[in-house]
Amino acid sequence: MHYISISFTHKNTDISIREKLSLSDESRKKEILRLLSANENIIESMVLSTCNRVEVFAYVSKINECVRHILNSISILTLVPYDALELRADIYEDDGAIHHLFAVASSLDSLVIGETQIAGQLKEAFKFAYDNGNCGDNISYAIHFGAKCASKIRAATTISKNPVSVSSVAVAKAKEIYGNLGGMTAVVVGARQMSALACKHLIASKVNVIIVNRDQNRAAQLQSELGELASIASWERLGELINRYQLIFSATGANMPVITDEIIEMVEFNRYFFDIAVPRDIDISYYDNISVYAVDDLESIVKSNLNLREEQAGVAYAIVGEMTAEFFKWRSSQNSTPAIKALRFKARNIAQKEIEKAIKKGYIKCCDENEARKLVHQVFKAFLHTPTMRLKDRNDDEILNALEYLFDIKIDKTELKEEE
């Protein structure tokens, strides 16, 4: 059995393709998981879809066949040609897949290193797949270790201190343009996580925020969390507001653009649109006094963040390597359990028979039977200690077959498969 990860991120796939691959919609998530599970060699699978990445993480029996099936399934659902996917995909296998997963969980592979959203997004992706019956113990173990790895990195480094996100980077870009944002008004389109984060960073800079969202209840709830600098407006006022104010941030989660040429009016002042959604929310023509920044356009600020955290990232990657080795050592120790059980069962049966023979022949008095059992138990326990420890380090088929031959035991291979 093998772990594999197929990854499309800001590193290998531009936003025009990533937005087609986006699986943020619940029905698309269910459909991709259904397509993946159609292959009997894909034992478990989950998908992670964020503004900067789409990933499939799976536990499979045949790597090459399953990689082809996964890419084909993505192509069928998104209509992105198979060849284009194969060209861009980063594919990780076995320890590489686990190392990559742990790096993702620790936000080391994020556009903004140290951002804090990815841990929650990963947990949500796992829960969605688990609730749909696509995940079991094997991916669960990996996710659990990934969370431990992220926690260890947070404790050992300052990489997540003063946490940043794509939303905070967008606000930082606005500060770079205007300097002091205090007293300005920004229109924030959407009321989901990315929009909420943008609102919080804007308000921290003393910006008045107008939230425009289709669901007014969600907008009102966000407003109540943000305080007096936040207000809400109906969706019908979107066109009016984006033509009145200079700063517009959008992250709705819609499948189609919500800001298009149809609602843009010519005005005399400069406007700056920050499209932090994938798929993108803004699809407009070129205007002299309108600048649009999509997720990938914020990379210059991201790189400065990367330079500041580079040394800490080196420490963090060392921890990822250690945790990857620890994970496979733990998996190996789990796989040794059926063999250890078989050895102990064999030793116990032999001890029982030999004690009964000794009592019949008078070598041991009946009154000493319990003491004899304790002594023999300690002897075979001591004898099996070293083999038990070594089995936890190495328990491949060659070793297990040799054990069966040498000790005339039968290792329960069905239990071994369940452990795997």
pLDDT on residue 419: 43
Query: In the chain, which residues have pLDDT < 50?
Result: 416-420
* In a domain? residue 243: yes
Is residue 121 within 8 A of residue 278, CB to CB? The reply is no
Residues 184 and 143 grouped into a single domain: no
- Secondary structure of residue 302 in the 3-state scheme: helix
* In a domain? residue 349: yes
Q: Containing H/E element for 373? A: helix 369-393
Residues 203 and 116 grouped into a single domain: no
Is residue 279 within 8 A of residue 19, CB to CB? The reply is yes
- Secondary structure of residue 287 in the 3-state scheme: coil
pLDDT tens per residue, range 64-74: 999 999 999 99
pLDDT on residue 418: 44
pLDDT on residue 104: 92
Residues 295 and 387 grouped into a single domain: no
Q: Containing H/E element for 21? A: helix 15-21
Tell the residue number behind the tokens 């924030």, with chain if given. Answer: 188
Q: Containing H/E element for 45? A: strand 42-49
Is residue 168 within 8 A of residue 221, CB to CB? The reply is no
Sequence-separated (6 or more) residues with CB below 8 Å from residue 3:
57, 58, 59, 60, 93, 94, 97, 98, 101, 138, 142
Sequence-separated (6 or more) residues with CB below 8 Å from residue 192:
251, 252, 253
* In a domain? residue 321: no
Residues 95 and 156 grouped into a single domain: yes
End position of a domain, from candidates 161, 191, 216: 161
pLDDT on residue 410: 82
* In a domain? residue 323: no
Look at the chain and report how many structural domains it folds into: 3
248: burial class by Cβ within 10 Å (0-12, 13-18, 19+)? buried
Residues 259 and 398 grouped into a single domain: no
pLDDT on residue 271: 94
Tell me the HSE value of 260 on the side-chain side, using a 13 A CA sphere.
4
Q: Of 235, 187, 186, 230, which Cα lies nearest the Cα of 215?
A: 235
The pTM score is: 0.63
pLDDT on residue 299: 67
Residues 143 and 202 grouped into a single domain: no
* In a domain? residue 96: yes
Q: Which of 51, 66, 135, 149 is catalytic?
A: 51
pLDDT on residue 354: 85
Instruction: Take residue 123 and report the two structure tokens written for it.
Output: 């947990």
| CATH code where residue 184 lies | 3.40.50.720
End position of a domain, from candidates 301, 319, 350: 301
Point out which residues pair with 283 in neighbouring strands: 260
Tell the residue number behind the tokens 């369940």, with chain if given. Answer: 418
Torsion (CA) 131, 135, 139, 140 in degrees, nearest 10: 30
Secondary structure (H, E, C), 163-228: CCCHHHHHHHHHHHHHCCCCCCEEEEECCCHHHHHHHHHHHHCCCEEEEECCCHHHHHHHHHHHCC
Instruction: Take residue 85 and report the two structure tokens written for it.
Output: 């996917």
Residues 208 and 150 grouped into a single domain: no
> Annotated catalytic, 51?
yes
- Secondary structure of residue 347 in the 3-state scheme: helix
Residues 176 and 259 grouped into a single domain: yes
What is the residue range of 295's domain? 166-301
Is residue 273 within 8 A of residue 298, CB to CB? The reply is no
Position 241, amino acid: L
Residues 278 and 373 grouped into a single domain: no
Residues 78 and 105 grouped into a single domain: yes
* In a domain? residue 173: yes
| CATH code where residue 144 lies | 3.30.460.30
Point out which residues pair with 2 in neighbouring strands: 60
pLDDT on residue 166: 81
Residues 122 and 201 grouped into a single domain: no
pLDDT on residue 8: 94
Point out which residues pair with 92 in neighbouring strands: 5
Residues 151 and 170 grouped into a single domain: no
pLDDT on residue 300: 65
pLDDT tens per residue, range 168-200: 888 888 988 888 898 999 999 999 888 998 999
Q: How far is CA 146 from CA 151, 282, 283, 328, in A?
A: 9, 35, 37, 12
* In a domain? residue 155: yes
